[in-house]
């Protein structure tokens, strides 16, 4: 049930869920900057710069073929629901379908017939069909109200809008998205498919050749591609609006488009906010991620089975680590910070120079400094007590406990995210069956408890309550061994219980969460009052200032909703070293050492005599992307798919805070390489036929 690990995860929300993200318009875009919405794409600019002939019909075709997965992006590439995405977007599914006897992560998933395609637990596929402006309704709902009443009225109106259009139809998703930090509210309506099956996944070692050392680097030799298929009523979905598969690689300088769902950017944080990130949140996140990484890496050496079940958690952790490390790299780069400081200074001066504007805006920068100071004090308790461990069982218990508590309140008083519909959706998620490793659960639990004690200290009352007379290891052992939450049937049962029934359930994980939930929620309340609430209000003011000063021809910060970026195939130069934009299949064999993670996959070794070594393998382009874009189709001027974006270079990670056209690059596996692999490595005539290429 866990989200696929995003190679391109840049979600600041993952920083212990405690980061305050400002979604706000960026400075007027230069170079190939921008993650544009489909209803505000700079068609004229692009046609002029790249000599293309884009029009609304082109945009509509692309939009109708773009697919949103959990935490990833994808595209329809045949008329029968075939979906191209990254291998790393489906690796959780491959692991879920595997067991100690059949390790499809290691060996690949390549059923010979459509009948053998298997459902990925919890996976959905969503296609954006309509965008409607609902700004007026949302803002009117809050007019004249303050504080909690204001928040509740707006949330209720948003809920109402979503219900009006989608009702309880499980085939639809309606989501009101706040863009430009509340400058706009748009209803995004999606066609949703809940039966998504795994069609093809290469061996992990082919998809992730070079492993963590090569991750976010280039040159690369990774077949990070996989195919899913959308089903409905047990049959493949008919999808006439799909992208045409072009099996030829682009040339240097060719224009490229990336359609996908960038998760989160924070390009408009103030200096006070960036400094708290740099000084506290990122360092602590990097430190904790590193220790956990060390624990899991060492655990993975203890047996073959330990190694197998650790693949996905370690991949996710190492990927996150590198994202945070890249972000920290930007925030500790004196030149980068000087540029951010100059931008802030300019905006503040232009506001100050306009008395009417200054009057309307006030001093949100000072408010954010106060919020940042509060954040320094509250971050550790918030992170440790409220965000909790990366334990799946603990997450189940927490979701169930909180749902029970909220359900006990009248609907109008519940916290956001606990409407009846939300709880029903939770029930569907809890019903998904996926294997759980008790060993890893125990590591996650004991690690979290020991860090909570370390960072909050032994004498902190919440820590005392959490641990009692037990060690972190004892609690981990007792709660993981004793809980029934690994069983979906029990989860369903528990979700129907009242808090009192949960307390009496005798389940040690549920009881552990129950006993400490008040303290966790109390920290959340403090955090909302002193940090996230004031930050949100101040950010809205800064967004207004930017609209007033720079106009509205801007793109909004990423919100894990569909965007289009443009760019071109191009390498880069850094500290005197020039990196070429293409790698070729032959390079894989040169880089192969035979030692993990630089051991070429067995099927590739076997195919060395057959495969065309001059085929373009991976390539880089200037497109502006971020975590969540993984699996995005890379599209040429004709609207054909020429690859699947799967990574950024290390510089692109600073893209969370700003785009640098000289250095930031998208990394893509070419359709040319995928085609060659299906033909001469994996012998998949069935798929080649469906993609419409020569077998």
Contact residues for a second copy, defined by CB under 8 A: 210, 212-214, 217, 219, 275, 278-280, 283, 286-288, 290-299, 302, 325, 328, 332, 334, 377, 443, 450, 453-454, 457-459, 467-471, 474, 575, 593-596, 598
- Classified as helix, coil or strand, 79 is coil
Burial class (CB in 10 A: 0-12, 13-18, 19+), 530: middle
Shortest CB 391 distance to a second copy, Å: 16
Q: In this structure, are residues 330 and 663 in contact, taking their beta carbons and an 8 Å threshold?
A: no
Looking at the DSSP assignment, which residues form a beta bridge with residue 133? 186
Q: How far apart are the first and last CA of the chain?
A: 36
Shortest CB 377 distance to a second copy, Å: 7
Residue placing its CB nearer to a second copy in the complex, 51 or 334: 334
Shortest CB 545 distance to a second copy, Å: 25
Residue placing its CB nearer to a second copy in the complex, 289 or 671: 289
Q: In this structure, are residues 505 and 494 in contact, taking their beta carbons and an 8 Å threshold?
A: yes
| Residue 243 token pair | 């992208």
Omega of the bond leading into 407 within 30 degrees of 0 (cis): no
Cα–Cα distance between 139 and 403 in angstroms, integer? 29
Shortest CB 288 distance to a second copy, Å: 7
| Residue 538 token pair | 């101040």
Cα–Cα distance between 438 and 677 in angstroms, integer? 37
Residue for token pair 């069982």: 393
Residue placing its CB nearer to a second copy in the complex, 404 or 620: 620
The number of beta carbons lying within 10 Å of the beta carbon of residue 300 is 19
Residue placing its CB nearer to a second copy in the complex, 292 or 677: 292
Residue placing its CB nearer to a second copy in the complex, 336 or 550: 336
Shortest CB 278 distance to a second copy, Å: 8
Residue placing its CB nearer to a second copy in the complex, 290 or 419: 290
Shortest CB 599 distance to a second copy, Å: 9
User: DSSP letter string over 573-584?
Assistant: EETTEEE-SEEE
Shortest CB 643 distance to a second copy, Å: 22
Q: In this structure, are residues 225 and 674 in contact, taking their beta carbons and an 8 Å threshold?
A: yes
Residue for token pair 């359709």: 671
Residue placing its CB nearer to a second copy in the complex, 219 or 388: 219
DSSP state of 366: H
Report the candidate in 394, 391, 370, 374 with the shortest Cα–Cα distance to residue 382. 374
Shortest CB 439 distance to a second copy, Å: 10
Residue placing its CB nearer to a second copy in the complex, 7 or 453: 453
Cα–Cα distance between 325 and 592 in angstroms, integer? 27
Residue placing its CB nearer to a second copy in the complex, 55 or 470: 470
Looking at the DSSP assignment, which residues form a beta bridge with residue 258? 565, 634
Shortest CB 300 distance to a second copy, Å: 9
Shortest CB 382 distance to a second copy, Å: 16
Q: In this structure, are residues 141 and 134 in contact, taking their beta carbons and an 8 Å threshold?
A: no
Cα–Cα distance between 320 and 261 in angstroms, integer? 18
Q: In this structure, are residues 86 and 72 in contact, taking their beta carbons and an 8 Å threshold?
A: yes
Residue placing its CB nearer to a second copy in the complex, 345 or 471: 471
Q: In this structure, are residues 644 and 84 in contact, taking their beta carbons and an 8 Å threshold?
A: yes
The number of beta carbons lying within 10 Å of the beta carbon of residue 462 is 18
What is the maximum alpha-carbon separation in the chain?
73
Shortest CB 194 distance to a second copy, Å: 38
Shortest CB 20 distance to a second copy, Å: 18
Q: In this structure, are residues 369 and 276 in contact, taking their beta carbons and an 8 Å threshold?
A: no
Residue placing its CB nearer to a second copy in the complex, 44 or 335: 335
Shortest CB 416 distance to a second copy, Å: 31
Shortest CB 536 distance to a second copy, Å: 23
Measured CA angle at 74 (ends 224, 238), to 5 deg: 125
Measured CA angle at 346 (ends 341, 347), to 5 deg: 100
Instruction: Please name the residue ranges forming H helices in 332-469.
Output: 334-352, 355-361, 364-381, 392-407, 420-431, 438-456, 461-467
Residue placing its CB nearer to a second copy in the complex, 450 or 516: 450
Shortest CB 218 distance to a second copy, Å: 9
Residue placing its CB nearer to a second copy in the complex, 583 or 664: 583
27: phi then psi, degrees, rounded to nearest 5: -60, 150
426: phi then psi, degrees, rounded to nearest 5: -60, -45
3-class SS string, 526-552: HHHHHHHHHHHHHHHHHHHHHHHHHCC
Shortest CB 447 distance to a second copy, Å: 8
Cα–Cα distance between 153 and 142 in angstroms, integer? 6
* Conformational region of residue 31, where left means phi above 0, alpha means psi within -120 to 50, and beta covers everything else: left
Residue placing its CB nearer to a second copy in the complex, 243 or 314: 314
Shortest CB 311 distance to a second copy, Å: 16
221: phi then psi, degrees, rounded to nearest 5: -140, 65
479: phi then psi, degrees, rounded to nearest 5: -75, -40
* Conformational region of residue 302, where left means phi above 0, alpha means psi within -120 to 50, and beta covers everything else: alpha
Residue placing its CB nearer to a second copy in the complex, 233 or 596: 596
Cα–Cα distance between 571 and 665 in angstroms, integer? 8
């Amino acid at each position: 049930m866990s989200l696929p690990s995003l190679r391109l995860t840049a979600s600041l929300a993952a920083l212990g869920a405690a980061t305050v993200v400002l979604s706000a318009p960026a400075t007027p875009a230069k170079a190939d900057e921008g993650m544009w919405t489909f209803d505000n794409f700079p068609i004229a600019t692009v046609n002029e710069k790249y000599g293309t002939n884009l029009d609304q019909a082109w945009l509509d075709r692309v939009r109708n073929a773009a697919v949103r997965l959990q935490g990833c992006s994808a595209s329809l590439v045949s008329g029968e629901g075939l979906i191209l995405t990254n291998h790393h977007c489906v690796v959780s599914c491959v692991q879920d379908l595997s067991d100690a006897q059949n390790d499809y992560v290691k060996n690949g998933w390549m059923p010979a017939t459509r009948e053998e395609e298997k459902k990925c637990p919890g996976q959905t596929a969503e296609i954006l069909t309509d965008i409607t402006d609902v700004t007026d309704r949302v803002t009117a709902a809050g007019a004249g109200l303050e504080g909690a009443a204001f928040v509740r009225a707006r949330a209720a109106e948003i809920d109402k809008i979503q219900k009006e259009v989608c009702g309880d139809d499980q085939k639809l998703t309606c989501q009101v998205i706040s863009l430009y930090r509340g400058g706009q509210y748009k209803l995004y309506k999606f066609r949703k498919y809940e039966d998504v099956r795994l069609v093809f996944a290469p061996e992990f070692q082919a998809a992730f050749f070079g492993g963590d050392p090569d991750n976010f680097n280039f040159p690369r030799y990774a077949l990070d591609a996989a195919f899913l298929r959308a089903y409905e009523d047990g049959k493949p979905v008919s999808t006439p609006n799909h992208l045409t598969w072009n099996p030829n690689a682009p040339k240097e300088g060719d224009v490229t488009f990336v359609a996908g769902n960038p998760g989160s950017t924070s390009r408009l944080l103030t200096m006070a906010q960036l400094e708290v990130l740099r000084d506290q949140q990122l360092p602590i996140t990097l430190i904790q991620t590193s220790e956990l990484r060390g624990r899991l890496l060492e655990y993975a050496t203890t047996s073959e089975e330990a190694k197998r079940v650790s693949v996905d958690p370690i991949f996710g952790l190492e990927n996150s680590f590198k994202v945070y490390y890249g972000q920290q790299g930007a925030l500790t780069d004196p030149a980068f910070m000087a540029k951010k400081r100059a931008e802030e200074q300019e905006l503040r001066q232009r506001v100050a120079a306009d008395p009417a504007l200054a009057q309307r805006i006030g001093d949100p920068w000072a408010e954010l400094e106060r919020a940042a100071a509060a954040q320094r004090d509250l971050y550790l308790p918030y992170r440790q007590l409220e965000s909790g461990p990366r334990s799946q069982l603990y997450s189940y218990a927490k979701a169930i406990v909180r749902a029970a508590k909220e359900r006990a309140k009248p609907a109008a008083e519940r916290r956001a995210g606990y409407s009846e519909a939300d709880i029903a959706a939770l029930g569907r998620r809890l019903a998904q069956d996926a294997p759980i490793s008790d060993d890893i659960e125990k590591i996650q639990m004991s690690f979290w408890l020991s860090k909570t004690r370390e960072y909050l200290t032994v004498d902190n009352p919440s820590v005392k309550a959490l641990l009692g007379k037990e060690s972190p290891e004892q609690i981990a052992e007792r709660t993981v061994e004793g809980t029934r939450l690994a069983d979906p049937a029990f989860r369903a049962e528990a979700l129907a219980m009242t808090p009192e029934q949960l307390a009496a359930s005798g389940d040690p994980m549920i009881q552990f969460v129950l006993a400490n939930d008040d303290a966790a929620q109390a920290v959340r309340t403090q955090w909302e009052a002193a940090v996230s609430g004031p930050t949100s209000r101040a950010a809205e003011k800064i967004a207004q200032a930017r609209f007033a000063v720079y106009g509205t021809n801007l793109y909004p910060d990423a919100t894990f909703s569909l965007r289009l970026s443009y760019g071109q195939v191009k390498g880069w130069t850094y500290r005197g070293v020039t990196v070429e934009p293409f790698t070729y299949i032959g390079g894989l064999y040169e880089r192969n050492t035979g030692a993990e993670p630089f051991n070429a996959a067995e099927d590739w070794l076997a195919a060395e005599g057959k495969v065309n070594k001059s085929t373009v393998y991976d390539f880089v382009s200037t497109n502006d992307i971020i975590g969540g874009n993984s699996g995005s189709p890379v599209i040429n001027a004709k609207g054909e798919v020429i690859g699947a974006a799967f990574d950024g270079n290390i510089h692109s990670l600073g893209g969370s805070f700003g785009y640098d056209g000289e250095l930031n690059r998208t990394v893509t596996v070419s359709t040319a390489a995928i085609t060659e692999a299906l033909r001469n490595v994996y012998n998949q005539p069935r798929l080649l036929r469906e993609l419409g290429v020569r077998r």
